Amino acid sequence: MADLRNVRKDFPILSRYPELVYLDSACTSLKPNQVIDAEMSYYREYGACGSRSSHFLGRRTNEKVEAAKENVAKFVNADPKGLIWTKNTSEAMNLVANAFDFSKRRKVVTTAMEHHSVLLPFINLRDQGKIDLEVIPCDPDGEIPLERWESAIDKETALVVCHSWNNTTGTGRDIRAISRIAHDEGALVCIDGAQGVPHHKADQKSEGVDFLAFSGHKMLGPTGIGVLTVRPDLLPKLGNFVVGGGTISNMRIEKPQYQLDTSRFEAGVQHYSGMFGLAAACDYLRNLGMDNIAHHEKMLAKPMREAIEASGAVVYGPKQTDSHGALFSFNFKGAKPQDVALMLDKLNIAVRGGFFCAQPGMEALGANEGAIRASAYLYTSIEDIRKFDDAMRKAGALYS
């Protein structure tokens, strides 16, 4: 089993700020030297456009981009022929919403617990009269029993859209079961893997996922690079999204002929350094082992919850911890989340305060003014959680 205690030396931010306890990994993760070096290698050793220039630097860039595509697709067991590079999960979700063909079925089923970047593209379509949107409500702890999915998804449903892991409660959805329900009704499934892919082994093929979106920056990769993996047979059924250089095979003013493969969705010169960095992040995670990472986070989850509860704060989400990642949202009654987050910051604990771009979900959980969120990752040590515990006791003395 890989020893995660050795990883901290790879993260320059942790060396630069040795006192820092970084518990904002759900917002964005820290990056290891291996990723930073891979990203820089593009500018130092490649430097050209991929898939268009036939000189040697162009060819080298292209080969590396294709290898990155294979690598990242393999990481989530997706077909590389269906991998579209995006900026992030938000752009991937907008792509699905705007390119999907709703002419035969126009109902989209999603949940109140989704991130704004999942809800807004579909709310936008609903407001333009292009789709019917059903938003499944959640229980007070954010959970949604499978029967509720069964009654919402029907023969009118074109697409089911939901997250694999939640960014406010730190718990996962049963993606296999939701996919089965959707496919039984002839609907397709689009998963927001922004919080799932970085922390748990994802397997697009065996989970029955038709579209999977995730962001590089939450899984040790660079900012500005994300992914949408599409079941390749669905590509011809998608309309265009952002068009431009590289998306056409033959440019005719009267009727442009578009590419048949994923390059139809990758307009303009791309974020090559980001692709190199994301592939290096996948290597890094793969070397440690996704099961080891999930195990490490599960081991941190228990003392994290205990630290929060001992301070007198209220934790949002389900009570049990066995299916919990190392992510918790909480509040001290009567205290403003931002005030608490700033106090913790003074004690070198970096957490996030607010709605975490999930206002409907936070309100459903009863956090009407937002909350404080502590989220760990593979570089978080048990010593970090001890420091968090100390700081939470100080916060509790002031606020609870």
Query: Using CB under 6 A, which of 192, 207, 210, 384 touches ligand PLP?
Result: 192
Q: Does 167 bind ligand PLP (CB under 6 A)?
A: yes
Q: What is the DSSP string of 97-146?
A: HHHS--SS--EEEEETTS-HHHHHHHHHHHHTTS-EEEEE---TTS---H
Residue 329 burial (CB count, 10 A): 34
Residues 117-156 that bind ligand PLP (CB under 6 A): 117-118
Closest approach of Cβ 56 to ligand PLP, in Å?
A: 34
Residue closer to ligand PLP, measured from CB, 7 or 118: 118
Choosing from 25, 29, 71, 215, the residue that interacts with ligand PLP (CB under 6 A) is: 215
Choice between 118 and 158, CB closer to ligand PLP: 118
Closest approach of ligand PLP to the CB of residue 158, in Å: 21
| Contact flag: residue 88 with ligand PLP (CB under 6 A) | yes
Q: Is 194 in the site for ligand PLP (CB under 6 A)?
A: yes
Contact of 204 with 294, CB cutoff 8 Å: no
The footprint of ligand PLP on this chain (CB under 6 A) covers a number of residues equal to 13
| Min separation Cβ 226 and ligand PLP, Å | 6
Q: How far is the CB of 358 from ligand PLP (least distance, A)?
A: 7
Q: Given the complex with ligand PLP, which of 157 and 167 has the nearer CB atom? A: 167
115 is a site residue for ligand PLP (CB under 6 A): yes
Give the residue among 82, 76, 72, 138 at the shortest CA–CA distance from 110: 138
Nearer to ligand PLP, 62 or 273 (CB): 273
Q: In what order do the strands lie in the sheet with 371-375?
A: 314-315, 327-331, 371-375, 352-354
Tell me, yes or no, if 357 is annotated catalytic.
yes
Strands (DSSP E) along 17-60, which ranges? Answer: 21-22
Q: Give strand pairing partners of 91.
A: none
Q: Strand pairing partners for 330? A: 315, 372
Contact between 371 and 362 (Cβ < 8 Å): yes
25, 29, 90, 375: which one contacts ligand PLP (CB under 6 A)? 90
The CB-of-192 to ligand PLP minimum distance in angstroms stands at 5
Q: Out of 8, 105, 106, 163, point to the residue binding ligand PLP (CB under 6 A).
A: 163
Residue 6 is given by DSSP the state G
Exposed/middle/buried for residue 174 (C-beta within 10 Å: 0-12, 13-18, 19+)? middle
Place of tokens 């250089």: 245
Q: Are strands 107-111 and 132-136 parallel, antiparallel or unpaired?
A: parallel
Minimum separation from the CB atom of position 153 to ligand PLP (A): 21
Which residue's CB is nearer to ligand PLP, number 193 or number 246? 193
Instruction: Report in angstroms how near the CB of residue 155 gets to ligand PLP at its nearest.
Output: 28
Which residues partner with 164 through β-bridges?
A: none
Residue nearer to ligand PLP on the CB measure, 135 or 194: 194
CB of 251 to ligand PLP, least distance (A): 31
| Residue closer to ligand PLP (CB basis): 90 or 270 | 90
Q: Does 111 bind ligand PLP (CB under 6 A)?
A: no
- How many Å apart are CA 88 and CA 302, to the nearest integer? 31
x/- string (CB under 6 A) for ligand PLP, residues 341-380? ----------------x-----------------------
Out of 94, 195, 229, 375, the only residue in the binding site for ligand PLP (CB under 6 A) is: 195
* Region from 30-38, 191-199, 255-263, 335-343 binding ligand PLP, contact rule CB under 6 A: 191-199
Q: Which of 49, 138, 190, 357 is catalytic?
A: 357
CB of 62 or CB of 215, closer to ligand PLP: 215
Looking only at the bridges linking them, the beta strands covering 226-230 and 211-215 are antiparallel
φ and ψ of 160, to 5 deg: -115, 130
Both structure tokens of 160? 């089911």
CB 308 within 8 A of CB 374: yes
Q: For residues 246 and 24, give the distance between their C-alpha atoms in angstroms, rounded to a whole number.
A: 37
> Using CA atoms, how far apart are residues 373 and 351, in angstroms rounded to an integer?
6
- Both tokens assigned to 217: 């920056």
Q: What is the maximum alpha-carbon separation in the chain?
A: 71
| Catalytic positions | 357
Residues that bind ligand PLP (CB under 6 A): 88-90, 115, 117-118, 163, 167, 192, 194-195, 215, 357
